[in-house]
Structures are given as structure tokens and as C-alpha cells.
Amino acid sequence: MKKRFLSTLAFTATAALALAACSSGSDGGTDAGTDGGSDGGSSGDVITVGFAQTGSESGWRSANTESMKTAFSAENGFDLVFNAADNDPAAQIQAVRSFINQGVDAIVIAPIVEDGWDDVLQEAKDAGIPVILEDRTVTASDDLYASWVGLDFELEGQKAGEWAAAEFTEPTNMVVLEGTTGSAPANDRATGFDNAIAGSSITKLDSQTGDFTRDGGKTVMEGFLQKYGVDEIDLVYAHNDDMALGAIEAIEAAGAEPGVDIKIVSIDAVRDGMQALADGKINYIVECNPLLGEKAAELVKAVLAGDDVDKRTIVEDQAFDQAAAEAALPDRKY
């Protein structure tokens, strides 16, 4: 751990703010401008980590946040300064700059979008603060961060596309509910799926972002149904379960039966999505495991100890049909 020595004046000025900082036990985002890391940076016993989360846009994200807070708990030797940027890239970058100014020992980022990270990552490097990327990736040079842990988003899209190509052998019209524009999962899940269905009988009628939210998925699906009608849409590919669940609401409101009249393939495998799959309203789900906290915490400790770590750590995913979902639900952790 790096030791940083704050002047008496600086410490006094920030002490009151430190009381408001959000630690691992809090439920929501905190103002990253508050100093929750001074003790961890100077005690030699506690590792102070700033975690810049995307927001709380989905059930997956909530499970991911809980996993991170549990792993970076006081019981595990951490003081966590948490910030959820509400899917605002500028706010997330500002949160990271605040972590740097606070002198935290390490920073963990789940980047909202891939681009625009070069400057602030260079600032962290210049300050001697290692950065771990969690869940999503960036286009910045990989020498600006220590490691990344997450999922293979392109493979997730590929698995979903392979199922669709095998399931639909007759001419099929598909609409796509995209994730947040510019985000790694949206980009990669689109690429993987499109490559898998190339040369198949599936035609993409339309594709629009629902920002990974249930309301967004419902709104976009309502638009698709108004534009094309129930009879012209055979398949929905949703980049996450929350948008698929919103699409289900729109399909039912239009008088059609999701999973029957309009098939749905999705990615995430959160509990609500798995229940919809078990109920036959979704037809296939590729997992995206949100429980990345333990591995992220291991990486932080290893990097601060000076150990060599892998640049990329990929957590394996599963895929579920209706029977598999029914079997998995009783023991599902998220």
C-alpha cells in the first residue's frame, strides 16, 4: 500500500466530509468528492479503494454492486469509497478524479462507455494509483490500467446468435434492443450476435438502444410494434434481461404472447429474467455473471503487493433454456 501524508490543515478540512463518505455497507452512491479514504491510505492496515460504478440501471447492476460492496468490506480489510454515476460518463470521470485527489490506494472502474478514458487514467498512473477495470473495458492503452476482470461480451452475443440461427431456419424478422450506446457490452454483444447469424434466415428489421433499462426496453419495443405490427416481428434480441422484461410488457399490452407469438433471446440470467424464461415468456438466455467482487478484490491486493497479475481475467458464463432455468432458479444467487 502506498502511504500518503496529509498536512494537518488538509486533514482538518476534509475530516468532516469523511463522515459522509459511503463505505461498503451503504446502499446507494455517494458523492465521490467526500474524503472516505484518508484512513486507509495512511494506516498501513486498511486498503482504501475508490469504486466508480456505472449506476443502478438493471437487476444485473444491482447484483454487481452488492458483490463489490461485500468483497471490499471492512471485514476484508478495505475502506470502500463508492460512487454510482447514473450512466453519465462525465460524472464517472469526475468521480475518478476525485478518488485521485483523495489519494486512495487503488481505483476500480466499471466504465460506462469505452472511449474518453485516456486522460484520467494517465492522471491516476502519474499519481501512482493502480486502476482495475471491472465488468466493462476501455479503448485506452492497456498500460494505463493494471488489470481487467469481466465477461466475454462478444462470446455472449455469439452464443445468443448461434441459438437463434439454429432455432429459426425459415425467414425470420428480428428487432434488437441495444444496450447503452458506446458501451463495451452493447458493442461486443452486437458483433458476436451479428457474426453468428450471418448467412442465416434471420433479417434484422430494426435496432435501437434501450439503455439496459426495463423502461427503455418497453418503450423501444412499443415503438417497434407500432411501426411493424405484431405479425411482422418474429424475434427480439435483447442485450440484457431488463430490456427483455420491458419488451414482454409491451408485447402483452399489444395482445400478443411473448415467447410464443414473438420469441425472445436475452443476455444476463438475473432472477427475474430466469423466472420469465421458466414461465416461457423468454426462450433463451445467455448468462453474464455479475458476481465479480471477490476477483476484483483479489486483483487489488495482488497489484498493491507488487505481484504479477494477468491483464485480462474472464469469468465463464452459462446458457439456459426453459428446463435449465427451472432447475437453476431455486439456488440462484442473483
User: Which own/partner pairs from 213-217 qualify as long-range (CB within 8 Å, at least 24 positions apart)?
Assistant: 213/57, 213/58, 213/242, 213/243, 213/246, 214/58, 214/242, 214/243, 214/245, 214/246, 214/249, 215/246, 216/177, 216/243, 216/246, 217/177, 217/242, 217/243, 217/244, 217/245, 217/246, 217/247, 217/250
Shared domain check, 165 and 109: no
Amino acid at 44: G
Integer Cα distance of 43 and 113 in angstroms? 34
Domain end among 288, 307, 328: 288
Full-model pTM: 0.81
> Does 75 map to a domain?
yes
Shared domain check, 174 and 100: no
Shared domain check, 262 and 304: no
C-alpha cell at 161: 446468435
Shared domain check, 96 and 169: no
Shared domain check, 85 and 46: yes
> Does 328 map to a domain?
no
Beta bridge partners of 320: 285
Measured from the Cβ of residue 262, the count of other Cβ atoms closer than 10 Å reads 26
Residue 66, φ and ψ in degrees, nearest 5: -65, -40
Specify whether the CB–CB gap between 80 and 57 falls below 8 A. no
> Does 184 map to a domain?
yes
Shared domain check, 126 and 14: yes
Shared domain check, 307 and 175: no
Shared domain check, 276 and 308: no
Q: Which residues of 81-115 are buried (b: 16+ CB within 10 A; e: fewer)?
A: bbbbbebebebbbbbbbbbbebbbbbbbbbbbbbe
Shared domain check, 268 and 169: yes
Radius of gyration of the chain (CA): 21
Domain end among 252, 270, 288: 288
C-alpha cell at 211: 439503455
Integer Cα distance of 217 and 233 in angstroms? 15
Q: Is beta strand 172-178 parallel, antiparallel or unpaired with respect to 202-209? A: parallel
Beta bridge partners of 132: 108, 147
According to DSSP, residue 316 is labeled: P
Cα diameter, the chain: 73
Shared domain check, 184 and 145: no
The residue range of the domain holding 55 is 8-149+290-315
pLDDT for position 7: 37
> Does 325 map to a domain?
no
> Does 330 map to a domain?
no
> Does 320 map to a domain?
no
Specify whether the CB–CB gap between 39 and 48 falls below 8 A. yes
Specify whether the CB–CB gap between 78 and 24 falls below 8 A. yes
Per-residue pLDDT of the chain (334 residues; tens, 9 = 90+): 433 333 333 333 333 333 333 333 333 333 443 333 333 343 458 999 999 999 998 889 999 999 999 999 999 999 999 999 999 999 999 999 999 999 999 999 999 999 999 999 999 999 999 999 999 999 999 999 999 999 999 999 999 999 999 999 999 999 999 999 999 999 999 999 999 999 999 999 999 999 999 999 999 999 999 999 999 999 999 999 999 999 999 999 999 999 999 999 999 999 999 999 999 999 999 999 999 999 999 999 999 999 999 999 999 889 999 999 999 999 988 8
Q: Please count the structural domains in the chain.
A: 2
Integer Cα distance of 282 and 321 in angstroms? 9
pLDDT for position 59: 87
> Does 73 map to a domain?
yes
Integer Cα distance of 194 and 156 in angstroms? 12
SS3 254: coil
- What is the domain-level CATH number for residue 271? 3.40.50.2300
> Does 49 map to a domain?
yes
Shared domain check, 74 and 191: no
pLDDT for position 45: 83
Write out 132-144 in H/E/C secondary structure: EEEECCCCCCHHH
Shared domain check, 50 and 107: yes
